[in-house]
A and B are shown apart, each in its own frame.
Chain A
Amino acid sequence: MSENTKQNYLNHPKGIMSWLLTLDHKRIGLMYLFSGILFFFLGGLLALVMRFELAAPGNDIISNEVYNNAYTLHGAIMIFLFIIPAIPGALGNILLPLMVGAKDVAFPRLNLASFYIYSFGALFAMYTIINGGVDTGWTFYTPYSTQSTSNVVPMTLGIFIIGFSSILTGLNFIATVHKMRIPGLTWYKLPLFVWALYGTSLVQITATPVLAITMVLLMLERFLGIGIFDPALGGDPVLYQHFFWFYSHPAVYIMILPAFGIISEIIPVHSRKKIWGYKFIAYSTLSIAFIGFLVWGHHMFTSGQSVFSQIVFSFITYFVGIPTGVKIFSWILTMYKGQVSFTPPMFYALAFLFLFTIGGLTGIFLGAVALDIHLHDTYFVVAHFHYVMQGGTIVAFLGGLHHWWPKSFGVMYNQTIANIAALGVFIGFNGTFFPQFLLGLRGMPRRYATYDEQFVELHSYSTFWSGILGISIFIAVMNLFWSFIKKNKVDPGSNPWGGMTLEWTHTSSPPHPHNFEEEPVLQHGPYDYDKVIVEKTYKK
């Protein structure tokens, strides 16, 4: 590791314009990070409003109409403005070129453009909120979305625009992975986070165009009454669901695959043991990405689609469990006989394993047609996808932030507070969402502002713990930012967790404006801890 040169991407060059017009992938990543977290808090705030409304039956805080707007905006903001862009846009942008040893992504100007396209799309979403919201649910199902008088058009237009940003980021990453690796960095020597981003990007460029055309058709249906999705005009509303879920089911994997990648990085580093089954994890990423395109109809079991297609969708859905299971087992086997240290990133990774497994297994329940017809549109579904999306993706995202925070900013946060916050997130999360499985099994439908007396107990538990969850996440994020304000600097050459990937071993913290002072030469694989620090890791 070379000596500190004082010059890093954060302080060079200076000035607001050097940030707004930057072509540096690390700065663009930071801009994604800040806007993502902003939307995360906005979406979280909406969630808390809903939870407090549901603390007791009846309309205590907000009316039914406001509640409809709240859950729609919560879903749309969290998915389209935070989760989908957050990990690839923020962590992916900062880390991908570093991990492949490149000076930048393949197309830096395109990269900046996709950030501004994202911001432009986000403006439409913000306009929607100011202008009175939208009440269709984030899925915009027809025929209601063609009739609703709320702001369906600005919101769908916003999503349409953000879709382009997603496509361009995906294109950029694919080209970067294929063409920008340093010599000697072959596919099987890539860090698994790169594989995950690659799989994600493939899904992004393949699925998102269909979302774009679906949103166009929906808008045309509203403007011209084209009749494609309108039964009164000879069309078919279920076809809309096919179109929508052809994108939105793979989109689930756009959200979860990068999280898998983060976990695949955190676990070996913090267990000081080579990842178990590298190729299994790498190929399971690609097979999840592929199988994700075959199962969209399991969102539509009660839509009136043909029974034949239900059987096929249900059958294929189970196959998703195979590569996912392979990953979980690989991670557990990586920890087995490793030297596990309970650092904040590792706490998040362990929480991920626990929460995602619950989310995944309940997904198998829902993949069974017969059971799904009972559970469809109940709180069981709500709990399931929050276990996957929040317990999986967002917990992994927080873990990733804690893992790469010293690398990205050259500062270290207070690890005790971070551990406590991680514990708070874990307990608060389970407290909030586990009761919802029970609510769902007992028949509590989703998307209602009020409910029967019999559900009071579980709902009030859920609300209480959601407060804890919200506070914990807030503390976790503020703890990170506080380290930045307090300037608790780490030594620029330090490698606090002992990572072996290029971003840890070949550049300073924070990295040089051009990533590496000289082009890195590959000396070892991404997880070869044994080759370098044998004495430290050998125990017994």
Chain B
Amino acid sequence: MSEHHITPLKTYLIIAASLLFLSGVTVWVSYIDLGSFNIVLAMFVATVKASLVAFFFMHLLWDDKKNLTMFLMSLMFFGIFVTITMLDTGFRGDLGLNPETKDPINKRAAFYDTLPLTDTHGHPVDEHSDEHHEDKDHH
């Protein structure tokens, strides 16, 4: 068989170690409240991790660039799908003619009204005897 690239063992071990380290980092960061920046950071770390996997474990770095193109194409079409769908879902009722359409689905489903309150184990609790009563009135 013609020569295939053989990645050195050291590379694999370094990549795996970085992946584990980054997993730790992303968990640690998630406990710090950075507001909406949390999600940006988490997605950034995830993307770094994903790139390491794709380029080193999946050999994209050394492969025919056609393979990389295929992979990037999948991400591009995902991007198109999200962006264009959000043009609708993010702007519902944008003419403001009918305030009802502004928040199309924020109504609570009817079946919640019949659900009994439970404890953290999912067992129903008596509504009148526990401290969560307050919770229910609020909402």
What residues of chain A have their CB less than 8 Å away from a CB belonging to chain B? 178, 206, 210, 227, 231-236, 238-239, 242, 246, 293-294, 296-297, 304-309, 312-313
- Determine if A210 and B94 form an interchain contact, defined as CB atoms under 8 angstroms apart: no
Contacting residue for A238 out of B74, B88, B110, CB 8 A: B88
- Determine if B80 and A297 form an interchain contact, defined as CB atoms under 8 angstroms apart: no
- Determine if B108 and A234 form an interchain contact, defined as CB atoms under 8 angstroms apart: yes
A232 to B105, CA, bound (A): 9
- Determine if A178 and B107 form an interchain contact, defined as CB atoms under 8 angstroms apart: no
- Determine if B81 and A210 form an interchain contact, defined as CB atoms under 8 angstroms apart: yes
A206-B73, A210-B81, A294-B80 known; A306-B105 Cβ under 8 A = no
- Determine if B109 and A297 form an interchain contact, defined as CB atoms under 8 angstroms apart: no
A234-B109, A294-B80 known; A304-B101 Cβ under 8 A = yes
A293-B77, A307-B94 known; A234-B107 Cβ under 8 A = yes
Q: What are the 5 tightest A-B residue pairs by CB atom distance, in nearest-first order?
A: A306-B91, A309-B87, A309-B88, A305-B88, A308-B91
B95 within 8 A of A: yes
B32 within 8 A of A: no
- Determine if B109 and A306 form an interchain contact, defined as CB atoms under 8 angstroms apart: no
- Determine if B88 and A297 form an interchain contact, defined as CB atoms under 8 angstroms apart: yes
B92 within 8 A of A: yes
- Determine if B105 and A309 form an interchain contact, defined as CB atoms under 8 angstroms apart: no
A305-B88, A309-B84 known; A234-B94 Cβ under 8 A = no
A239 to B77, CA, bound (A): 17
- Determine if A306 and B92 form an interchain contact, defined as CB atoms under 8 angstroms apart: yes
A305 to B87, CA, bound (A): 9
A296 to B92, CA, bound (A): 17
- Determine if A306 and B88 form an interchain contact, defined as CB atoms under 8 angstroms apart: yes
Please, which residue of chain B has its CB at the minimum distance from the CB of A304?
Answer: B101
Number of A-B contacts (CB under 8 A): 64
- Determine if A307 and B95 form an interchain contact, defined as CB atoms under 8 angstroms apart: yes
Contacting residue for A206 out of B66, B77, B90, B92, CB 8 A: B77
Contacting residue for A308 out of B87, B106, B107, B109, CB 8 A: B87
- Determine if A312 and B87 form an interchain contact, defined as CB atoms under 8 angstroms apart: yes
Contacting residue for B109 out of A232, A246, A296, A305, CB 8 A: A232
A296 to B95, CA, bound (A): 21
- Determine if A242 and B105 form an interchain contact, defined as CB atoms under 8 angstroms apart: no
- Determine if B105 and A235 form an interchain contact, defined as CB atoms under 8 angstroms apart: yes
What residues of A have a CB within 8 angstroms of the CB of B95 in the complex?
307
A294 to B81, CA, bound (A): 8
Please, which residue of chain A has its CB at the minimum distance from the CB of B108?
Answer: A234
Q: Supply 17 A–B pairs (Cβ within 8 Å), ascending by A.
A: A206-B74, A231-B104, A231-B105, A234-B107, A234-B109, A236-B89, A294-B84, A297-B84, A297-B88, A304-B92, A304-B101, A306-B90, A306-B91, A308-B88, A308-B94, A309-B87, A309-B91
- Name the distance in Å between A262's Cβ and chain B's nearest Cβ: 26
Please, which residue of chain B has its CB at the minimum distance from the CB of A300?
Answer: B88
Enumerate B76-133 residues with CB–CB distance to A below 8 Å.
77, 80-81, 84-85, 87-95, 101, 104-111
A294 to B110, CA, bound (A): 36
Please, which residue of chain A has its CB at the minimum distance from the CB of B101?
Answer: A304
Of B66, B80, B88, B90, the most chain A CB neighbours within 10 A belong to B88
A71 to B90, CA, bound (A): 34
Besides A242-B85, A296-B84, 17 other CB < 8 A contacts? A206-B77, A231-B105, A234-B105, A235-B105, A236-B105, A238-B88, A246-B85, A293-B77, A304-B92, A304-B104, A305-B88, A305-B92, A306-B92, A307-B94, A308-B91, A309-B87, A312-B87
Please, which residue of chain B has its CB at the minimum distance from the CB of A236?
Answer: B105
Please, which residue of chain A has its CB at the minimum distance from the CB of B66?
Answer: A178
- Determine if A227 and B91 form an interchain contact, defined as CB atoms under 8 angstroms apart: no
A296 to B105, CA, bound (A): 23
Contacting residue for A306 out of B74, B87, B111, CB 8 A: B87
A178-B66, A227-B109 known; A306-B93 Cβ under 8 A = yes
A227 to B105, CA, bound (A): 11
What residues of B have a CB within 8 angstroms of the CB of A227 in the complex?
109
- Name the distance in Å between B57's Cβ and chain A's nearest Cβ: 22
Enumerate B22-71 residues with CB–CB distance to A below 8 Å.
66
Please, which residue of chain A has its CB at the minimum distance from the CB of B90?
Answer: A306
What residues of A have a CB within 8 angstroms of the CB of B74 in the complex?
206
